[in-house]
């Protein structure tokens, strides 16, 4: 059986947070020992420049931060090729070919791009949108198809972007022959993980919104954020009945809690359903639930922090990993580009 290719990436616009962790990072680490797959994970610095061109140092500084987060989360360079997008010029070339296969109108209709543009306008007050930002789904299509990726582990917000990749593939293959592989999104198993909300109750935990718990946060910072997490504004006295809808504390439990956490940290309850029932009835205070959540998160994050510390002291090694991964990735993309050029007919010599 031919091995399937998994590829995914992150923008170096900040450090990675719990949303990335449950949305895609954990899946990447889980699949790392599966012999059915070949894996690529990349740092999307070109994509980060589409809305940070005036602050390239933000992108530059965060390339190594994201790499540290990858290694901290448990990605191992021998098993997963880690690379930097800008170091593979083939990706820029492929983007140029694809730009002619989508309409401006279709890009403007992309719900993810639309929401992100609205958010950016509200935050910065700037009226214009860089052309590169509008077309980032096209460059994402290049990233994915240049490696013949079958599966792309992403959070829910990226599903419409991936749909655009699939459309480009179908258009390309329709015009030039069956050259490209059509990829599929791979979403997390738990619903709460598909789009983890921010600590402030916003629909998405995001680097750009300042509402995140970072993998690099120390123990005190995590506890502090958990103690302030958005819960149920109507749950004032312990005896008041509590509501679960929009209650971030419980969404985080949905994302992270496993049955074995109860005997370890909260033996009065058997499982999450029992805890939720008590909260809904009234008589269970937020602080008790938050302490439980904090214990779970600290247990999950403590080995991540240890690995981060190890690599923080060895940044040369981290850059070497990215350099070697980029060389390997470039060779893989070059082979696909040969096929693409031949199919379009831009192979003259």
**Where do contacts with ligand ATP occur on this chain (CB under 6 A)?**
10-11, 13, 19-20, 23-24, 154-155, 157-158, 195-196, 204-208
Strand partners, 9: 42
Nearer to ligand ATP, 15 or 261 (CB): 15
Q: Tell me how far, at minimum, the Cβ of 111 lies from ligand ATP, in Å.
A: 13
Nearer to ligand ATP, 15 or 235 (CB): 15
Q: Tell me how far, at minimum, the Cβ of 336 lies from ligand ATP, in Å.
A: 22
* H or E element that contains 335: helix 315-344
CA–CA separation, 184 and 175 (whole Å): 21
Contact call for residues 282 and 241 (beta carbons, < 8 A): yes
Q: Tell me how far, at minimum, the Cβ of 139 lies from ligand ATP, in Å.
A: 13
Q: What is the largest CA-CA distance in the chain?
A: 79
C-alpha angle with apex 164: 323 to 110, nearest 5 degrees? 110
Contact call for residues 62 and 109 (beta carbons, < 8 A): no
Nearer to ligand ATP, 23 or 325 (CB): 23
Nearer to ligand ATP, 59 or 340 (CB): 59
Which structure tokens are listed for 163? Answer: 């749909």
Q: Tell me how far, at minimum, the Cβ of 183 lies from ligand ATP, in Å.
A: 13
Nearer to ligand ATP, 207 or 308 (CB): 207
Q: Tell me how far, at minimum, the Cβ of 314 lies from ligand ATP, in Å.
A: 24
Q: Which residues contact 96 (CB under 8 A, 6 or more apart)?
A: none
């Amino acid at each position: 059986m031919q091995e399937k290719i998994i590829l995914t990436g992150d923008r170096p616009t900040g450090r990675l947070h719990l949303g990335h962790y449950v949305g895609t990072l954990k899946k990447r680490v889980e699949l790392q020992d599966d012999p059915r797959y070949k894996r690529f994970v990349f740092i999307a610095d070109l994509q980060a420049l589409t809305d940070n061109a005036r602050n390239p140092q933000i992108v530059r500084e965060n390339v190594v931060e994201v790499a540290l987060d990858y290694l901290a989360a448990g990605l191992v360079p021998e098993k997963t090729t880690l690379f930097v997008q800008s170091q593979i010029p083939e990706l820029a070339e492929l983007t140029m070919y694809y730009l002619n296969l989508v309409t401006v109108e279709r890009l403007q209709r992309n719900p993810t791009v639309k929401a992100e543009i609205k958010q950016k306008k509200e935050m910065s007050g700037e009226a214009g949108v860089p052309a590169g930002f509008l077309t980032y789904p096209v460059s994402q299509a290049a990233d994915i198809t240049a490696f013949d990726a079958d599966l792309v582990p992403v959070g829910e917000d990226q599903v419409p972007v991936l749909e655009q990749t699939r459309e480009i593939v179908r258009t390309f293959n329709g015009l030039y022959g069956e050259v490209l592989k059509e990829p599929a999104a791979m979403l997390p198993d738990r619903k709460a993980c598909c789009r983890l909300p921010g600590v402030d109750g916003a629909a998405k935990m995001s680097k750009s919104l300042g509402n995140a718990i970072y993998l690099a946060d120390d123990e005190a910072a995590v506890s502090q954020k958990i103690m302030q997490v958005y819960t149920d504004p109507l749950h004032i006295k312990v005896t008041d009945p509590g509501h679960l809808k929009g209650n971030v504390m419980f969404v985080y439990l949905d994302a992270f809690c496993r049955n074995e956490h109860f005997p370890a940290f909260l033996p009065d309850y058997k499982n999450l359903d029992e805890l939720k029932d008590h909260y809904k009835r009234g008589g269970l205070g937020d602080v008790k639930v938050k302490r439980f959540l904090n214990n779970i998160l600290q247990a999950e994050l403590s080995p991540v922090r240890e690995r981060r510390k190890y690599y923080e002291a060895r940044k040369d090694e981290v850059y070497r990993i990215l350099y070697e991964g980029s060389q390997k990735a470039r060779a893989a993309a070059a082979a696909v580009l040969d096929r693409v050029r031949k199919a379009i007919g831009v192979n003259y010599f």
